[in-house]
Structure 1
Amino acid sequence: MRPTVHWISLACLLCFSHQTVADYNSDYQRLCTDNGPVSVGSNVYSVTCDRTLGPGLPVQRLGHRLNPTPEECAQVCEQNRGTCFGMIWANNACYESSDANGVLLNAPGVVVLTPPPLPGGKTPEQLAEELRNCETEKGGFESRASQCDTEKGQIEARRAECVGEKNTCEQNKNTCEQQKTEAERQRDGYQREKNTCVEQKVEVERQRDEHKERLDGGAQSIEIPTNAAAYCAEAYGKGYRQVTIDGTRYMIACGPQWVGNIQKAWLKADNLRDCLRLCNQRLCHAFGFWFTGRAQGQCNLVLEGMQPGPTTQQSIFAVRMI
């Protein structure tokens, strides 16, 4: 039998093998008269009325259902998108065509439902695999994004810590500069005090030298008095006289007194001669020997620096001549 004759027979079976019912008529009118769509989910099937597909033989679907709707017939194709290239819907009939090169043939009352093309011409299995791969990549991206957020948080925390350390350093720097300014101020003050002290020392030494020159000018040389009290009773207020012990000259006087303004030492001495020797040993500038009163027997050595003291009748004052 020729294919055309075969398909004419199939079309007749589709149209007249069962009694036409109201559901089929209403669906046929909706599709072919009112140009209504057939949609399955988001997919819209194209509708071709009074046609069937050939030359490949279609496979009957939903044979257990009485008068399936066009949408139910199209749902079968959705489940087999890898092999389904069209559905043939008629009165109480639903057939699936897997012929990719099928052609339309006349068949009154029969409707061909053609699915929309697959994206990129890919099968559902391929699309599902791509979806799984995409979800896997998405998971990887989300993981890396989470890691990036964690690292970003760590960097921001470190930055905040660094800013805090920077502020602390700036505060320490300001404190250091203030301390430096204060230290320089104190240094300048100490330098002024030192300069004043040096000037005073120079002046004291000048006065001392002048005093020694005056003493050395015309002082009478005498033997070292053995009785200081008796000597001062006669020599009080009569100026300086010169004595020598162990090759060192001293100018002695009763009445005027000089004291140490920097350093002094009080030592025990039995007589004036002992006090002279103590001054030689200590290289003192001057001394006062107390021969009476509460300080009797004391030798007050002026080791550095001299300044005028009170007049007294209880001691002999001596200046060592260098």
Structure 2
Amino acid sequence: MGAKELPQGAFSEHVAVILPLSGRYANLAQAVLSGVRASHEAVTSSQRPILSIYDMGDSPESAWQKYQEAVEAGADIVIGPLTKEAVSQLTERQPLPIPTLVLNQPEGDLAASRQVILFSLQPEQEAARVADRAHARGHRRAAILAPRSSLGERLASAFSDQFTQQGGHVTSVQHYAPQATDFQAVLGRILAQNVDMLFLVASPEQGRMIQPQLRYLSTRHPPVYATSHIFDLGGVPRQDTDLDGIIFPDMPAVLGRSGVPDHDRLMRHGNPLWPRLVAMGFDAFAMIPELAMLQQDPQASHTGLTGQLRLDSQGRVVREPHWAHFRNGRPRPVQGQ
């Protein structure tokens, strides 16, 4: 039997979802599944496909076992798995018999394949989008301020690579201890470099300390860009006034500006601790009828809870976020998105 192909403009008859619903990643997987189920329920009953759920537990190796079970049960497309290790268990066995929308990047490089579509919320992608945005706004001399941590190094590198590729220059890279509270020395070194923007890698707590100290040192400091890590959905506006002025990308649904009808109810459908994963699960399912078109037309896009979604030549979902800046402690839309 030949490999199954993506449906053209309609849902597959049978969708399988493979997630680690028990074990270490259970809370994350349950949030994704909540989004998938909300998306499934939003489909007209006459077009709603069969939805089969497979719990692969903690073992990455069980992803392949569950995948084979799904294929034998007649699934036309698979959503999942979620972790890098489990995704690698599938992508190492290409060509796969049915289209598969994996929810993370595999370990190492992956050859392009029409059967494998990669959809992830990797923070490195956001850092690259910040670099694109900054360059498009005319910034050419950037500074980076990031914590000494694995995440800090990864985001600093992703921003620097993309900004340099666009023709910009990163003239200062500074790091701080994650437990630091006094940033005036490191900020002074950045301001001395005559940069025209600052890429800040910080949690909301760190940002609430850094931004006021930057304002204290210079009322005419360069604009500050960050990733969505800077925005705590449960934050208190009177505290977040310390973040005022910071520009960041996030999902339109999180910012309350999704083009998806009734998105507020859909976001509440899942685990409120992980709303971005709920949105990811929703979009993973909702994209199914459009995947074939997205593969054929690189300019085509899907309007989702997580952003405008398109596919690149490597089969990766490219997510165009919405842009906001803090004003009076609340995220407000950036004019001229």
What TM-score do the two structures reach when normalised by structure 1? 0.19
What TM-score do the two structures reach when normalised by structure 2? 0.18
Higher share of residues assigned strand = 1
Of structures 1 and 2, the larger Rg is shown by 1
